[in-house]
Amino acid sequence: MLDKLKIIFLDIKIQHTVFALPFAVMSAFLAAGGLPATEKLVWIIVCVAGARSAAMAFNRIVDVRFDKENPRTQYRALPAGKISVGNYWMFLVASSTAFIFSAWMLNSLAFYLSPAALAVVFFYSLTKRFTAFSHFWLGLAIAVAPVGAWVAVREEISVTSLLLGAAVVCWLIGFDILYACVDVEADRANQLHSIPERFGISAALKISFVSHAVMVVFLLALPESAVLLGWIYLTGVALVAALLVYEHSLIRKDDLSKVNTAFFNVNGVISVGLMIFVIVDCVWV
């Protein structure tokens, strides 16, 4: 059983929880006006890990026939026969249960919203079948993390959490478009849709850049509603903007060799780095 669990964790890249979790943590600090209660923070982390694991398990199950046809994904656990679909369904149910239970431990509103949150994160995996704007749905799925963390602390949805969620949506749209550039031919062969597949790589890179620029606008608007944020946070936003420019400098329409560096490394630094600046600004006083 442990061997199968290890295969699944490697397959869903559990380390990529780093994309959503820092935004949930910074939202929790903003909602608490400083350091949130340890118990709440722990349950928020379990919620994020559970929802993300369930969503990735669902993605692997429903996309297995497409993964077999894509050179980039044909070595994933299911198409490669390393694990059974039944094992993945068990993992999905366990992860979903962990998420819903954690939400219940937080408060009533978090619990009542948990099925809707799961529906959103599951739905993304189906969107490439019918829309080129599937990147938006991935962004919306990840934005559940900061909005949900605010609900966990204050049992409400606020302008601040929605602004942070909007920034996350734009961030995800931008870098998911970059990542989708390497799958254009496979997407066309499998009749799947994406911005690069629909509009071409050159136009997709421009749309990605604009999306990241809008993300920075949302981040700059955040201090208007989150009064705790000041010059330390704005320094972090400036560094995020610089990293986004660097990310786009790595990728050209005729050279996608550095997409993985842009996708994994740079965006990991962006999420964790911004979280650190938010936390420092929240507890500085």
Could you identify the residue written with the tokens 């031919």?
Answer: 185
Weakest mean pLDDT among 167-181, 243-257, 258-272 = 258-272
What's the pTM value of the predicted model, to 2 decimals?
A: 0.93
pLDDT of residue 131: 94
What residues pair up with 252 in beta bridges, in sequence order? Answer: 255
Task: From 238, 258, 237, select the one nearest 248 (Cα to Cα).
Answer: 258
C-alpha span between 180 and 154 (Å, rounded): 36
Q: How far out from the chain centre does Cα 141 lie?
A: 7
Q: Which of 250, 262, 249 is nearest to 171 (CA)?
A: 262
Amino acid at 189: A
CA distance 11 to 77: 6
Q: What is the DSSP letter of 262?
A: I
pLDDT bracket for residue 283 (50, 70, 90): confident
CA–CA distances in Å: residue 114 to residues 39, 110, 120? 18, 6, 10
For residue 86, the SS3 value is helix
pLDDT at 130: 93
205-238 confidence digits (pLDDT tens):
999 999 999 999 999 999 887 767 899 999 999 9
Helix-helix angle 134-154:108-127, to 10 degrees: 170
Q: Please give the Cα distance from 165 to 9 (Å, whole number).
A: 26
- Minimal CA–CA distance to 54: which of 10, 24, 99? 99
Q: Would you say 79 and 88 are in contact if contact means Cβ atoms under 8 Å apart?
A: no
Phi, then psi, of 252 in degrees rounded to 5 = -130, 155
Do the Cβ atoms of 183 and 70 come closer than 8 Å? yes
- Domains of the chain plus CATH, in order, are 2-283 (1.10.357.140)
pLDDT given for residue 285 in this prediction: 59
> Angle of helix 231-249 relative to helix 267-283, nearest 10 degrees?
180
pLDDT tens-digit series, residues 157-193 = 999 999 999 999 999 999 999 989 988 988 898 899 9
**pLDDT digit string (tens) for 72-131?**
888 899 999 999 999 999 999 999 999 999 999 999 999 999 999 999 999 999 999 999
- The mean pLDDT value of the chain amounts to 92
CB atoms within 10 A of CB 216: 18
* Residue 279 predicted with pLDDT over 80: yes
- Main-chain phi, psi angles of 249, to 5 degrees: -70, -20
- Predicted local distance difference test score (pLDDT) of residue 51: 95
Sign of the dihedral defined by the CA atoms of residues 77, 115, 180, 46, in that order: negative
